[in-house]
Structure 1
Amino acid sequence: MRYKVLTIAALAVACLPLPALAHPHIFAEARLEVVAGDDGNIAELRNVWRFDEVFSSSVLLDFDKNTDLKLDARELAELGEVMRKSLADFHYFTTITLNGATVGVKKPDVIHTSLDGNQLLVIFAVKPEKPVPLKGRLTFGIYDPSLYTSIDFPTDGDLVVQGSGFGKCQHKVVRPDPDEVISQNSTSLTDAFFNDPTGTDMSKLFATRLEVTC
């Protein structure tokens, strides 16, 4: 049975043993814009994801209802709505922390999808589920905790802040060194991948993130 969107990860988590999930099957290049509001809080996180051609072709086959080998406006809207609903279980792959505490995100109003050549392009914005003031230490990241989807930021310029609220803040892109992460967390990583039947979100240790200090 073909999966419909990248959220096949949800089925994979339920049906496959954890060691099999230790490598990605779907690949995407991303851009993240963190926008400050006029009220001194984070307004929204804007996402652009470009998926690999293999996954994009499978999406085309699944949603091309009239079999004309392209996705029309109705089919693209259906794809976006399926993603909007099902990605909620994964918090839209979005992680926000404020002084070490995780903040969830609201469901986006819409997820826009299109085919750019042979690649699926996904654009949407999410808002924090509670106010996130521009004070203290903040981090922002996009990653799949199941490791089924690899989301890569090709350059540091693909993680940016926007808005005058960041004027007194410092920010940097952090790309963790895998060898260092494994060395520092070898015991917990082993436990997470092989002994915990519920799964453990350790992929955040490897994920590229934007750190902001205000």
Structure 2
Amino acid sequence: MRYLAPLIAAALLAPQAADAHPHVFVQAGVDIVFDRKGRLTHIKVTWGYDAFYSLLIAEDKGLDKDGDGTLTKREERKLAGFDAKWAPGFNGDLVAKLDGQPLKLSGPMKSTATMVNGQIVSTHIREVTGNPLVGGDTLSVQAFDESYYTSYELTLPVRLVGNGQCAIRRVEPDIDNELAQMEAMLLSIDADADLEEMDIPMLGEAFATEILVSCPST
């Protein structure tokens, strides 16, 4: 049973509470891949993990025993795919929409992993079902954990591959406004309310940068 008091306390401490809530911090990047006909075929995802989480993973798997912050090729092969064993139904913390309609993505493929200055960087590829044409519509891509247990920041490159006519626009979240709305909503609820019976919004999407891709009509 979850009750309101802890969430009200978190809201009242904003924005500090929002900064402290995530347990894993990831620098993310995406390559949006088109074929020669301008169809969206794949999205390649890059995750760069924070130093502390990287250390935990390396210790758990017995990697980087010399502590130099890099991996051997053998260690890279051992690490590859460590974050690509997903439970059924997991969306990979990636949401892609075309003209507002969700796109279906495959599970992770061709996973890689390395370590750069003590931080683990992994990649995987998601195939886009149906390979839709983007021309004339807007493609939206967001990386977020709905529960905000993991914080994703799109600080790594966001690139278009195979279609030089398309343009990228970033829409950054208004975190202060989102926190203010959450605080106001929480303070309007009775303190004894059972949140499991209420539609309490999750913070992950509200804090996520949105990548908008537009392409000329063909």
**Cα drift, residue 88 of structure 1:** 6.3
Residue of structure 2 equivalent to 1:103 = 103
1:117 aligns with 2:117: yes
What RMSD over aligned residues (CA atoms) do the two structures have, in Å? 3.4
Residue of structure 1 equivalent to 2:25 = 27
Q: Check the 8 A contact 1:26/1:52 in 2, yes or no.
A: yes
Letter in 2 for 1:162: V
Q: Taking CA–CA contacts closer than 8 Å with sequence separation of 6 or more, which of the two structures ends up with the larger relative contact order?
A: 2
Residue of structure 1 equivalent to 2:207 = 206
Q: Check the 8 A contact 1:41/1:134 in 2, yes or no.
A: yes
**Cα drift, residue 182 of structure 1:** 3.9
- Classify 1:103/1:189 alpha carbon distance in 2 versus 1 (closer, same or farther; 3 Å): farther
| CA offsets 1:22-61 (integer angstroms, 9 cap, x no match) | 6211112222221222232212112222211111110011
| CA offsets 1:47-106 (integer angstroms, 9 cap, x no match) | 222211111110011111796667554554343333212276532221101111111311
* Total equivalences in the alignment: 191
| CA offsets 1:161-197 (integer angstroms, 9 cap, x no match) | 2322x51x44310101112334556539998xx7247
Residue of structure 1 equivalent to 2:53 = 55
Q: Quick one: distance in 1 between partners of 2:169 and 2:64?
A: 47
Q: Check the 8 A contact 1:60/1:71 in 2, yes or no.
A: no
Residue of structure 2 equivalent to 1:12 = none
Residue of structure 1 equivalent to 2:142 = 141
- Classify 1:188/1:160 alpha carbon distance in 2 versus 1 (closer, same or farther; 3 Å): farther
Q: Check the 8 A contact 2:148/2:203 in 1, yes or no.
A: no
Letter in 2 for 1:32: V
The answer for unaligned runs of 5 or more in structure 1 is 1-17
Residue of structure 1 equivalent to 2:38 = 40
* 1:164-175 → structure 2 map (5 Å cutoff): 164=163, 167=165, 169-175=166-172
Q: Quick one: distance in 2 between partners of 1:47 and 1:80?
A: 14
Aligned with 1:92: secondary structure?
coil
Larger radius of gyration: 2
Seq. identity, %: 23
TM-score, scaled to structure 2: 0.71
The answer for unaligned runs of 5 or more in structure 2 is 1-5, 11-16
**Cα drift, residue 110 of structure 1:** 2.3
Higher helix fraction (1 or 2): 1
Q: Quick one: distance in 1 between partners of 2:123 and 2:187?
A: 33
